Amino acid sequence: MATPHINAEKGDFAPAVLMPGDPKRAERMAEMLMPDAKIVSDVRGIKAFTGTVDGKPLSIMASGMGQPTLGIYVTELFTEFDVQRVIRVGTCGGLSEKVKIGDVVIANGAHYEGIINTHLIPETHFSAVASHNLVQAAYDAAEGAENVVVAPVISRDRFYNVPPEVNEAAARVGTAGAEMEAGALYGLAALHGKEALAVLTVSDHMTVKSEDMTAEERETNFQGALKLAVAAALS
Ligand code: HPA
């Protein structure tokens, strides 16, 4: 049955969903990966695609920006459409000096702002962690590539007006990058007994001055991250 934000039927989604933030990117990924893709939902212009990659079913749907928006789609996918795993494929702002623009972060955990996970265990700080088997599958697919790191990120509810000392503190404890979705994704996977991972390209750097990527570098790096995400999704 359709939900408030997904006008598909049960069975329209594959067990594995790749989830970029940007709906246009979802469309390009579907064109690139799945010549047989069909549109299964289009509420609010957020199209969802289902097809096959190497004979295995896969769906692709954007999360939009931010934990609350991702939380709506992921909750409906997990509870109403039998989705078993969601792999976010997106970008993050670099925080740790150990990562540089163009690196790919396999986010094994996410520190987070916001209320989405805070009620999961009363009186206790919840650990938002990725599914180990998906981390392993993505890492194996990287085949030792030196620009791929496994590290935690920080998931925020704000893009602007972050005090610099917050970034410095996060970097000091080894946080690879800042983004806005993984924390809620990991918490919701835990809540519903499902699997989740985020694979993130470092698109800019917040603590180290560096050159922006060219359009070509951006595309090459994205393809690298996508390869890891697809490998995890189909593992
Ligand atoms: N914050 C800062 N920089 C970023 C982000 C973010 O959430 N996403 C991509 N670059």
Banded model confidence at residue 219, pLDDT cuts 50, 70, 90 = confident
Ligand 1 atom closest to residue 179's alpha carbon, by position in its atom list = 7
Average pLDDT over residues 70-88: 98
Ligand 1 neighbourhood includes 200 CB (under 6 angstroms): no
pLDDT for 26: 96
Banded model confidence at residue 207, pLDDT cuts 50, 70, 90 = confident
| Protein residue with its CA nearest to atom 2 in ligand 1 | 93
Give dist(CA 187, CA 199) in Å, integer.
16
Phi-psi region of 30 (alpha: psi -120 to 50; beta: other; left: phi over 0): alpha
pLDDT for 156: 97
pLDDT for 210: 80
Ligand 1 neighbourhood includes 154 CB (under 6 angstroms): no
Compute CA distances 229 → 4, 23, 190, 194, whole Å: 28, 17, 19, 16
204 included as an active-site residue: yes
Q: Is pLDDT of 81 > 90? A: yes
Task: Return all residues near 53 (Cβ < 8 A) that are at least 6 apart.
Answer: 33, 34, 230, 234
User: pTM for this structure?
Assistant: 0.96
| Protein residue with its CA nearest to atom 6 in ligand 1 | 179
**Please, what is the Cα angle at 162 between 199 and 168, to 5 degrees?**
75
Task: Return all residues near 208 (Cβ < 8 A) that are at least 6 apart.
Answer: 94, 97, 100
pLDDT for 213: 82
Calculate how far, in angstroms, residue 30's C-alpha sits from the geometric centre of ligand 1.
24
Nearest by Cα to 97 from 183, 200, 173, 182: 173
pLDDT for 208: 86
Calculate how far, in angstroms, residue 160's C-alpha sits from the geometric centre of ligand 1.
9
Ligand 1 atom closest to residue 180's alpha carbon, by position in its atom list = 7
Please check whether residue 152 is in contact with residue 111, taking contact to mean a CB–CB distance below 8 angstroms.
yes
Task: List alpha helices for the chain, DSSP H.
Answer: 23-33, 67-80, 132-142, 164-172, 182-192, 215-233
* pLDDT, tens only, 176-194: 999 999 999 999 999 999 9
pLDDT for 75: 98
φ, ψ of residue 61 in degrees (nearest 5) = -150, 140
Ligand 1 atom closest to residue 156's alpha carbon, by position in its atom list = 7
